[in-house]
Amino acid sequence: MAKYDTSKLRNIGIVAHGGAGKTSLTEAILFNAGMIDRLGRVDDGTSTMDFEPEEIKRKISVSSALHHCDWNGCGLHIVDTPGYGDFIADTRSCLRVLGGAVVIISAISGVKVQTEEVWEWANETEIPRIAFVNKMDRERANFYRAMGDMEKALKARAVAVQMPLGAEEDFEGVIDLVKMKAYRYSNDASGKFTEEEIPAEYLDEARDLREKLVETVAEAYDALTEKFLENGELSEEEIVDGLRVGTLRFTFTPVFCGSALMNIGVNQLLDYMCLCLPSPLDRGGVTGTDPKTEKLVERAPDEKEPFSALVFKTTSDPYTGKITVFRVYSGTLNSDSTVYNPNRDCTERIGQIYELEGKKQKPVKQAVAGDIVAVAKLKETVSGDTLCDQDKPIVYEPGRSLDPVISYAIQPKSKNDEDKIHGSLQRLMEEDPTLKLRRDEQTRELIISGMGQVHLEVTMEKLKRKFGVEVELKTPKVPYLETIRASVKVQGKYKKQSGGRGQYGDCWVEFAPLGRGEGFQFEDKIVGGVIPKTYIPAVEKGIQEASQEGSLAGYPLVDFKASLYDGSFHTVDSSEMAFKIAGSMAFKKGMESAKPVILEPILKIKITVPEECMGDIIGDLNSRRGKVSQIIRAVVPMSEVLAYATDLRSMTSDRGLFTSEFSHYEEVPSHLAQKIINEATAGKNA
């Protein structure tokens, strides 16, 4: 892309739910702008933006892809974002650095939950947007139903700037309600069209819609409102100006239509992307924090300001290394320069600067305020970090990440895989912050968490393809615990004599249950020195170590108190080891009659689903021993929802979302406890 003045730059995200046609629209934009010479298709695996093998295999976008083009004197940075729930967190990261967005609404399925999510995120980050009703050439396509869905589901004030010329198999083009012209397209996906007068059968409908358009646009600002009230009409230039101002002020959302796959209406959409969506100058200065003073500072989108940028995407490859993608907010950046990373308190050497073109990179000499560019092989910088001028440091707040919803245990297939797994996963986690990795100390499993089953499967495929590491995903073990319900007093006595010095330790301990979450407590009630003080910590240690394996199924025992109140010792044979063994003996004897029970982890979950799915979801939660409170919030045993993300999407046709967090431990119902005990025993025997 040629070097553009900041006022002519547009950073635009193409957003919607999965399958709405984001990649197809981006493909048509690039084709019409002359950036690619062939119109690729997602279904054929030939699209420019879905280039990862995992995307080609599944025919969906699994990560955001970037490209650029020139149109009507503007330089457009285009970000094609994922829409499926498993990968939509990447879209949230991208929204943090975008200036505007094109929201695709399917003329067939309307608005889905993921579109609602993205719309809310765009509200949070105050991103102006326009809407494109796609798939007008498909069976059951309905432009007005899609607009109604926008208003109902998104609470958007939708205003039609175009109307379709025909629909379904008769869809031929679009009617521009500003210019009052029809654009009839050829049927070969070439993007070629002819400008015509509006056909008579569409004229009344077009006039009605134009009247509504003018009335709505007139509300953009006071002077325009006065002009409309005086004359009852607005000029073409005034309508366009009102559309731009109203979009930037979130007064309304302009709506366009077409077919991305057939390349119909894309040229007109490009025109309005340049006209209605903001430049970095329109967005104004960006606020950050001075890392030295912790005071708020602002950077204007000006080449003369100190350099600053926010990293929002990282890709990792074993051959080309790490690619760091960032949005420049202020100043200029030249190749072969040094920048400062205040998050890591380090400097980074900038080599060649690139513009991304799908999977390709195009070298550029300089990046200015508003540009989105990439550099290779930064040593310490990761997504969410700020890069800036060392003499004028600033830290920008990164986009908020989403919490994982599903976890699996990872089992390497070989010793070689086991040795490489941590380093390789660390590289993947740098490019995908929604991945979390931890070692469960109780079950000793390596647990990976992500946004869904497909998300983790794709991650494992990347792990094998990029780093040669093969693993299996397994359902993680539930970290059950044990506790007691009754108080008991028992003696633990260890006496061993085998000639010479023997071993002797004798203690009386009372075991009592504690409240949930109170852990383990030890109380020394010894009086009169019946057990010397030097041996008392050994009794505690013996009990604590023995409690790591409960008497029912071998799970750790928690929430109990051990009170040492009596005992005896031998002046020669007693030792710390003897009293430690005595303590463990007391524990094992006490558990026989303290009414031990198994505890299971309970999760708090919050579910967002369409209203029509509410009854099904509540019924399903009840079957999982869930306790539903309101809109759908519930507490559910972990064992029941290990794969809930997959089940929820199935029940809601991919329209349900949920988050979960640990709540507390609860006693397992008796009819299920024996099954857990049997499985644990079988596992030990195996």
pLDDT at residue 332 above 90? yes
Provide the 3-class DSSP secondary structure of residue 348: strand
Q: For residue 650, give every residue at least 6 positions away whose Cβ sits within 8 Å of its Cβ, in sequence order, or none.
A: none
Measure CA 121 to chain center. Answer: 12
The secondary element (H helix, E strand) that includes residue 271 is helix 266-276
Q: What confidence score (pLDDT) does residue 629 get?
A: 53
What single-letter DSSP state applies at residue 180?
Answer: T
- Residues 3-15: b if buried by 16+ CB within 10 A, e if exposed: ebebebbbbbbbb
Q: What confidence score (pLDDT) does residue 43 get?
A: 84
Provide the 3-class DSSP secondary structure of residue 562: strand
Q: Which residue has the higher pLDDT, 373 or 55?
A: 373
Cα dist. 651→149, 175, 607, 646, 654 in Å? 21, 39, 12, 9, 8
pLDDT at residue 458 above 70? yes
pLDDT at residue 58 above 60? yes
Give the number of other Cβ atoms within 10 Å of residue 491's Cβ: 15
CA dihedral 604→608→612→615, nearest 10 degrees, is 0
Assigned token pair, 443: 């079950």
Provide the 3-class DSSP secondary structure of residue 597: strand
pLDDT tens digit sequence for 73-102:
999 999 999 998 888 889 999 999 999 999
Assigned token pair, 55: 């995307």
Q: For residue 557, give every residue at least 6 positions away whose Cβ sits within 8 Å of its Cβ, in sequence order, or none.
A: 481, 482, 483, 484, 547, 548, 550, 551, 591, 596
Assigned token pair, 599: 């505890």
What single-letter DSSP state applies at residue 556?
Answer: P
Q: For residue 360, give every residue at least 6 positions away whose Cβ sits within 8 Å of its Cβ, in sequence order, or none.
A: none
**Shortest CA distance to 128 belongs to which of 254, 8, 260, 266?**
254
DSSP-assigned states of every residue in 289-334: E-TTT--EEEE-S-TTSPPEEEEEEEEEETTTEEEEEEEEEESEEE
Mean per-residue pLDDT, 478-496? 95
Of 26-30, 113-117, 514-518, minimum mean pLDDT range: 113-117
pLDDT at residue 310 above 70? yes
Torsion sign over Cα 217, 220, 225, 231: negative
Mean per-residue pLDDT, 375-400? 93
Mean per-residue pLDDT, 122-129? 94
Confidence bin at 2 (pLDDT 50/70/90):
low
Of 239-253, 492-506, 516-530, minimum mean pLDDT range: 492-506
Q: What confidence score (pLDDT) does residue 546 get?
A: 96
**Shortest CA distance to 192 belongs to which of 266, 270, 273, 133?**
266
Q: What confidence score (pLDDT) does residue 370 get?
A: 93
Domains and CATH numbers, the chain: 7-283 (3.40.50.300), 286-388 (2.40.30.10), 406-474 (3.30.70.870), 482-594 (3.30.230.10), 599-685 (3.30.70.240)
**Mode of pairing for the β-strands spanning 560-568 and 503-513:** antiparallel
Cα dist. 581→109, 537, 561, 653 in Å? 68, 12, 18, 58
pLDDT at residue 572 above 70? yes
Q: Are 352 and 375 in contact (CB under 8 A)?
A: yes
Assigned token pair, 25: 């629209």
Confidence bin at 417 (pLDDT 50/70/90):
confident
**Shortest CA distance to 4 belongs to which of 360, 389, 364, 268?**
364
Confidence bin at 129 (pLDDT 50/70/90):
very high
pLDDT tens digit sequence for 283-305:
999 999 999 999 999 999 999 99
Confidence bin at 156 (pLDDT 50/70/90):
very high
What single-letter DSSP state applies at residue 33?
Answer: T
Q: Which residue has the higher pLDDT, 656 or 488?
A: 488
Q: What confidence score (pLDDT) does residue 686 get?
A: 65
The separation between the first and the last C-alpha atoms of the chain, rounded to the nearest angstrom, is 64
Total-model pTM:
0.82
Q: For residue 457, give every residue at least 6 positions away whose Cβ sits within 8 Å of its Cβ, in sequence order, or none.
A: 473
Confidence bin at 140 (pLDDT 50/70/90):
very high
DSSP-assigned states of every residue in 49-116: S--SHHHHHHTS--S-EEEEEEETTEEEEEEE---STTTTHHHHHHHTT-SEEEEEEETTTB--HHHH
pLDDT tens digit sequence for 599-658:
999 988 887 776 777 777 788 888 887 766 556 788 899 888 888 877 887 787 666 767
Of 133-147, 497-511, 544-558, minimum mean pLDDT range: 497-511
What single-letter DSSP state applies at residue 29?
Answer: H
How far apart CA 368 and CA 9 sit, in angstroms, is: 10
Cα dist. 264→187, 276, 549 in Å? 9, 20, 68
Average pLDDT, whole number, for the chain?
91
pLDDT tens digit sequence for 3-28:
678 899 999 999 998 889 999 999 99
Mean per-residue pLDDT, 68-77? 95
How far apart CA 300 and CA 286 sit, in angstroms, is: 6
The secondary element (H helix, E strand) that includes residue 455 is helix 453-467
Q: What confidence score (pLDDT) does residue 654 get?
A: 67
Of 133-142, 157-166, 434-443, 476-485, minimum mean pLDDT range: 434-443
Q: What confidence score (pLDDT) does residue 1 get?
A: 57
How far apart CA 145 and CA 151 sit, in angstroms, is: 10
Q: What confidence score (pLDDT) does residue 442 get?
A: 85
DSSP-assigned states of every residue in 622-679: HHTT-EE-STTEEEEEGGG-TTHHHHHHHHTTT--EEEEEEEEEEEPPHHHHHHHHHH
Q: What confidence score (pLDDT) does residue 655 get?
A: 65
pLDDT at residue 434 above 70? yes
Q: Which residue has the tokens 């202020």?
A: 330
